[in-house]
Amino acid sequence: MAPIAVGDSLPDGTLSYFDDQDQMQTVNVHSLAAGKKIILFGVPGAFTPTCSLKHVPGYIEKADELKSKGVDKIICLSVNDPFVMKAWAKSYPENKHVLFAADGSAKYTHALGLELDLSEKGLGTRSRRFALLVDDLKVKAANVEAGGEFTVSSADDILKAL
């Protein structure tokens, strides 16, 4: 399947996350994104160096600026279980706006065409590193990284697209 691209409609699917009351929620992506401007950014793995030290912190630091430009939701997606994503989210006590969403089976990541096979490294199927700017379910920017790079999917890169 070809990776999602500018002009495509965001596929529907389900993701899991923990809410502010520490209750696990399963939500349809369209219910999060319909009629809204969202950023969906994907990372290969929770607690991994580039994801934890660069990618996620950038979105947390720039969240107010992104919101001031009309972004309603910022969602971090990873092929991890919701309990791992909950623990990872708690490692950023300063976070107020980034939702840490789990795609434990990688079904949604496959629907996006952004899966990454890291079986040779013992990690199985993961998500490629990417950032999507989506307005009312239509992709306006699709910044997908090649290999292990971190050059086009940062919060600063999405700010340029706004």
Query: 152 pLDDT band (50/70/90 cuts)?
Result: very high
DSSP string, 20-47: TTS-EEEEEHHHHHTTSEEEEEEES-TT
| Overall average pLDDT of the 114-121 stretch | 80
Annotated catalytic sites, by residue?
Answer: 51
Give percent above pLDDT 90 in the chain: 84
Predicted confidence at residue 54, as pLDDT, reads 92
Q: Is the pLDDT of residue 124 over 70?
A: no
Domains of the chain: 14-161 (3.40.30.10)
Total residue length of the chain: 162
Q: Is the pTM of this model over 0.85?
A: yes
Per-residue confidence (pLDDT) for residue 96, from 0 to 100: 95
